[in-house]
Each structure stands twice: as structure tokens, then as C-alpha cells.
Amino acid sequence: MIRKNFDIVRLHHAEITVTDLEQSREFYCEGLGLIETESDKNHIYLRALEDANHHCLVLTKGNQASLKHIAYRVSQDQDLDMLDELFTELGVNKRWVAPSEEWGQGRALRIQDPGGIPVEFFFEMEKADRMLQKYHLQGNVKIKRIDHANCLVTNIGELYDWYSNHLGFKTSEFTVNGHGKEENIWAAWMHRKPSVHDLALISEKGPRYHHTGFWLDDAKAILDACDHIASLGYYANIERSPGRHGTSNAFFVYLRDPDGNRIELYTGDYFTNDPDWKPIKWHLDNPQRATFWGALPPDSWKKEAVPVEDILTGQLLPIESIKRYEKA
């Protein structure tokens, strides 16, 4: 099957569920400095300082923490029709999302990818007031933009090939377990924008959503963010202390919102768009892979993630054990 000539630009936003909108507004706006574009009794639409569009994160009232969808922007409206044709050929569950279902956005195509992750594609979005140079209105946490989504899936080999062959995702880094002839892919960092990743796929019980990554300017900005949220009383929400990843080279801290949705504050990765770029290979048993400085992540970071939603029924998908590994 030949991939059609559409252009997926980047990861643009995510929609997650929270149980208490007021509690979540305080955490995301007062704590993390995101800007509320608009809201109703069931949704809060948030954007970051660089965003000139309506939202990069949607909080939707629900019964528990979960992922409703992640969304990629395409270059032109007709790309959506080409994607629709492709997904019909591939036999993927899909549906069109009307603008009334997600405020500020034009028509969108939502699918369940072969790993079970709910994924949306759209082109049009309403403009919003960009806050980047309104320094007098900025708080102590300066999130500039959304960066990536991290998903746990049971069939990483199949899904890795699917994103590579059908959607044109490139790979910056990958991790294998085993050695020699027993080597199998365990994780992949995949991108459309010219950085380390828009999408990370991890071989684990799934489908589950591990975290949404947001970009800050530098390591000092992340440390300042930790000081700010701790001073507000959210010190227990800092799940994994600041450090540097081996994979991606990024400086990070991981937080949990009041419902358990995970957020990574992230900076310091690198350019990946040279035509002769070769993906970097890591072994799972390399102690510098997850944290370059060697500190182990907490058990919660390794074991806990939120479920994902079925795009047709709205129900949470069952979590399955790993099905199989595929050769890297």
C-alpha cells in the first residue's frame, strides 16, 4: 500500500478527563500557568504561552483520569480526506468529529490506532491571543507549548511499523531488549516535527496513556516550576524529581495532577531533520537509558498509567498484557 501525500505537522493537543474541574483549574492554571481560553460546566480549554490557537489541552469532566484523545495538526484541510481514505483502506475504526464536539476546532477525524490509542487529526482552529511577550501577565511556570505524548501498547512492533509505513513518522531513538538474534524492539521515539518525538511508544500492558510532555525554555525554568508548585502545596504531586534522560537527552520533571494524569515538563532535546539522521539505539539494560545520571524512577512511574477511551462508545478500553515483540 502506498502512503498518500498528506502532511502531518506535529502533535497539537490532548484531551484528558478529570473528576473536579475547579480543582483541576487551580492545578493547571495557578500551578502550571496554563491559560484558560474558555470553559463550560464540562470542559476547560487551555493553551500555553506560545500558542496562537484555541487550545493545547482540554480538561473534560469524567469519572476518573483517562485519555479521550491526542491530536495531530495537518497542513491543509484536504489532508483529512486523504487520511480518511487511507484509514478506510486499513480498516481502522474512525469517525468524524463535528466542531460542536470540540470548541475552537474545525472538522476533525478521530481514529483508534491499531494499538488502541484514540488519535485525532484536524486542520482548522480558532486563533487566540498569544501570551509569549506579555511578560507582565505570565506566572512563575512558563510552559511554552505541548511537545509529545507517551503511550503504552501491547503490540509495539506492529504499531511502530504502522506509524512508520502509513503515516510517515520518523524515528529519533529506540530501545531494544535482548541481544543479538534475541533482540526485540521495546520502545520508540517517533516524530513529525524536527525534534526527538511527537509520540513515544512503550511496550507495556495497554492501551494506556503514560504522560503528556510540555516544553519549557531550559532546566532553570523547570527548577523554578518545581519551586512554584511546591510552594503552593503541590509538593506531593512531584512524582519523579528533575533529571536528564539518556534517551532524548532531555531535562525533565514528572508531575501528577489531582486525578493522577501525568505531566512531564521537558526541555533540552535536539534537532532531528538532517537527511542522513540515523536513529540512536539503546539497550533496555543500560542504566543510563531512562536517567542519564543513573537515578531510578519510582515504582509509580514504571507501573501506573491511565486508561484510554473507545472513540465509538466512549467506554474505557480493557487493559491487556503484552501480545508479542517484533524485531527492531
Q: Is the pLDDT of residue 2 over 90?
A: no
What's the pLDDT band for 15 if we cut at 50, 70, 90? very high
Q: Which three cell numbers stand for residue 5?
A: 501525500
Range 263-276 average pLDDT? 96
Q: Which residues of 102-132 are buried (b: 16+ CB within 10 A; e: fewer)?
A: bbbbeebbbbbbbbbbbbbbbbebeebeebe
Q: Is the domain of 178 the same as that of 302?
A: yes
Which of 107, 133, 159 is the endpoint of a domain? 133
**Rounded Cα distance, 189 and 212, in Å:** 14
Rounded to an integer, the average pLDDT of 194-205 is 97
What value does the mean pLDDT of the chain take? Answer: 95
Question: What is the domain extent for residue 232?
Answer: 140-307
Model confidence at 325, pLDDT cuts 50, 70, 90, reads very low
Clarify whether residues 261 and 156 are in a common domain.
yes
Residues 146 and 290 reside in one and the same domain:
yes
Asked whether the predicted pLDDT for residue 52 surpasses 80, the reply is yes
Q: Are 171 and 178 in contact (CB under 8 A)?
A: no
In a domain, 316, yes or no: no
Q: Is residue 192 located within the same domain as residue 288? A: yes
Q: Classify residue 1: in a domain, yes or no.
A: no
What pLDDT score does 321 carry? 80
Residue 239 shares a structural domain with residue 224: yes
Q: Taking 70 as the threshold, does the pLDDT of residue 323 lie above it? A: no
Q: Is residue 326 part of a domain?
A: no
In CATH, what number is assigned to the domain containing residue 246? 3.10.180.10
Q: Torsion-angle region of residue 104: left (phi > 0), alpha (psi -120 to 50) or beta? A: left
Domain-located, residue 275: yes
What per-residue confidence (pLDDT) applies to 327? 45
Contact 200, 189 (CB under 8 A): yes
Give alpha helix (H) positions in the chain.
21-25, 78-90, 156-167, 219-229, 299-303
The mean pLDDT of 223-236, rounded to a whole number, is 98
Candidate from 15-24, 284-293, 300-309 with smallest mean pLDDT: 284-293
Amino acid at 307: P
The pTM (predicted TM-score) of the whole model is: 0.96
What average pLDDT does this structure show over 142-159? 97
Percentage of residues in the chain with pLDDT exceeding 90?
A: 92
Q: 133, 158, 187 — which closes off a domain?
A: 133
Q: Which amino acid is at 169?
A: F
Nearest to 121 by CA among 109, 104, 113: 109
Domain boundary among 133, 168, 189: 133
Candidate from 67-71, 131-135, 202-206, 319-323 with smallest mean pLDDT:
319-323
Residue 178 has a pLDDT of 85
Cβ atoms of 109 and 121 within 8 Å: the answer is: yes
Per-residue pLDDT tens digits for 86-121: 999 999 999 999 999 999 999 999 999 999 999 999
Statement: residue 4 has pLDDT above 90: no
Domain check: are 46 and 182 in the same one? no
User: Using CA atoms, how far apart are residues 280 and 128, in angstroms rounded to an integer?
Assistant: 38
Confidence of residue 3 (pLDDT cuts 50, 70, 90): low
pLDDT of residue 55: 98
Strand 108-112 to 118-122 pairing: antiparallel
Q: Could you tell me if residue 272 is inside a domain?
A: yes
Q: CA nearest 8: which of 56, 54, 70, 76?
A: 76
Strand 43-47 relative to strand 170-177, pairing? unpaired
Domain count, the chain: 2
Same domain, 121 and 194: no
Inform me whether the pLDDT recorded for 260 exceeds 90. yes
Residue 326, pLDDT > 60, answer: no
275 with 227, same domain: the answer is yes
Give the total residue count for the chain: 328
- Kindly state whether residues 151 and 126 are assigned to the same domain: no
Whether 295 is in a domain gets the answer yes
In a domain, 323, yes or no: no
Q: Are strands 145-153 and 208-215 parallel, antiparallel or unpaired?
A: antiparallel
Query: Does one domain contain both 267 and 183?
Result: yes
**Are 48 and 103 found together in one domain?**
yes
Residue 319 in domain: no
Examine the domain organization and report whether 147 and 129 are in the same domain. no
